[in-house]
Chain A
Amino acid sequence: MTAPLLSVENLRVSFPTPAGRADVVKGLSFDLGRERLGIVGESGSGKSMTGRAILRLIRRPGHQSADRMMFDGLDLTTLSEREMRKLRGARISMIMQDPKFSLNPVMTVGDQIAEALRTHERLARKDVGARVIEMLHSVRINEPERVVRLFPHEVSGGMGQRIMIAMMLIPQPDLLIADEPTSALDVSVQAQVLDLIDELVRNKGMALILISHDLNLVARYCDRILVMHSGKVVESCAAKDLHEATHPYTRGLLAAVPRMEETRDELPVLDRSAWSGT
């Protein structure tokens, strides 16, 4: 087997508390090939901090460390901040939950996507314009010639998220980290956006880390799943085997989700005392 695209060993993220530094990611290790990895868990379990730590985006007073964090032969733990900036967006991109916070409110949609492209590639101006329109087409935005002139507040949530995806994918990164990319969207738009990410990831042979609190969603869109609980991976399995998960925490989460054909009179609840409680 060839070396994995990303290899993480003993990743830790901590924050200061009145009682000393507390780890919120507690020694996470995993390898990622050109595959779709889901990270799932309840809020506060450390999913977002894991995603951000891969890009070395943990802000003070937070602190991160790892025994090893290799990305395609590059040692992410020793790269300079300048080299990290070059890597972000160009080779590893991140889509956040709410496009409103990730898009620049005073720049048109077209200018933002063009900027994302230009920071990573030298292109003639007219080629940039054409690539932007082409990218908006591929994220299924109608009338891209009109949309490039709009400001973020003039587009709907679903369209804003598609614009984010266009911006993140136009430099053709090797790894896309999507942190709850559709949690702020309607179910009908959610499926469209995820199908779109899925198609682009497959076509371009990219790797995907999909972070979500939604077990069924990661099972649908990933190959492999890590289940996180209070900073640790409690279970790792193939997505198709999620429903045969063995860890009591995973089983508890799965059982708590209502089903389309619900026959239970009561939903089983987690015995929080068993896992130190959240």
Chain B
Amino acid sequence: MSAISLKNLDISYQSKKVVRDVTFDVAEGESFALVGESGSGKSTVLKAIAGLAPDWTGEISILGQARSHKVDRDVATRCQMVFQDPYGSLHPRKSVDTVLSEPLLIHGLGNRNSRVIDMLAAVGLDQRFRFRFPHQLSGGQRQRVAIARALMLEPKVMLLDEPTSALDVSVQAEILNLLKRLRREQGLSYLMVTHNLPVVSFMCDRMAVMNKGRIVEIAPASALHDGSFTDPYSQSLYAASGGNPDRKEMA
């Protein structure tokens, strides 16, 4: 069974098609990247899976279960999304405690107090942050809260949309380490959008390269070591990212 399975997925906004014929599987426990220029449709693919872009045709299944076009509460317990901008995705007047308790409340889950305390510890946030508001947190702390919120319902599949693009490199390193550890500890599968190829090399097993709404190539992350891409667009993306300077020096 795959964590995520997409078949011939077309996605439109206001009847304008922006994603065409996307087909790939993310294996259980796998970390899979979607890369490509802005506007190529990466976020749209994640949104369709999460139910935030309802105008699609084709097949989407999550952990073997096909998703419908409707709001699907059941999907939320299996699959959650984390956005790029922790400033925009957290409500400014809700405390960390409220943000983390809410999903439990909505899904009628108990033990909320201890679950919040445990989750803060799991994402490396001191308990003193529990009653703070977003503006009282740094960018990295906010992204930890966003990750904690996504994990509250103990989903098995995480959709990560540029989770570290707004962060400084040192904070990015902390968040990437956290995501890697959580995946290992909780047996998660990741579908991660990024424009940063070295982040793919650190975090992912495979990647799909998107261009103008289509997937042009699916490659193992090891293709980043030597640039062994087959599609010209993937090759140009790799070159624009500077290639692999460590190998250039050896050559």
Contact = CB atoms under 8 A, between A and B. Distances in A.
A256 interface: yes
Given A188-B240, A260-B246, A267 B37 contact: no
B107 interface: no
Contact of A261 (B174, B201, B237): B201
Contacts of A1: none
A267 B173 contact: yes
Identify the interface centre among A253, A267, A270: most chain B CB within 10 Å of its CB. Answer: A267
A245 B174 CA distance: 22
Nearest to A270: B170
B168 A42 contact: yes
A29 B251 CA distance: 39
B224 A260 contact: yes
Interface stretch (B19-27, B68-76, B82-90, B191-199): B191-199
Contacts of B37: 186-189
A155 B37 CA distance: 17
Interface stretch (A61-69, A71-79, A212-220): A212-220
A220 B195 CA distance: 19
Contacts of A43: 139, 168
Contacts of A83: none
A216 B173 CA distance: 16
Nearest to A266: B177
Given A258-B202, A259-B201, A191 B240 contact: yes
B169 A261 contact: no
B117 interface: no
A256 B169 CA distance: 6
B247 interface: yes
B110 interface: no
A38 to B, nearest CB: 15
A187 B196 CA distance: 8
Nearest to B164: A258
B29 to A, nearest CB: 16
Interface string A95-137: 0000000000000000000000000000000000000000000
B168 A267 contact: no
A7 interface: no
A266 B180 contact: yes
Interface in B54-103: none
Contact of B198 (A157, A258, A266, A269): A258
B2 to A, nearest CB: 25
B188 to A, nearest CB: 17
B176 interface: yes
Interface in A172-195: 186-192
A257 B168 contact: no
A233 B37 CA distance: 34
Contacts of A144: none
B169 A262 contact: no
B186 interface: no
Interface of B: 37-38, 139, 168-170, 172-174, 176-177, 180, 195-199, 201-202, 224-225, 236-237, 240-247
Given A186-B195, A262-B201, A266-B180, 13 more contacts: A187-B197, A187-B241, A189-B37, A191-B242, A215-B169, A258-B173, A258-B199, A259-B202, A260-B225, A261-B201, A261-B224, A261-B225, A261-B246
20 contacts: A157-B38, A186-B38, A187-B195, A188-B37, A188-B240, A253-B170, A256-B172, A257-B198, A258-B176, A258-B199, A258-B201, A260-B201, A260-B224, A260-B246, A261-B224, A261-B225, A261-B247, A267-B173, A267-B202, A270-B170
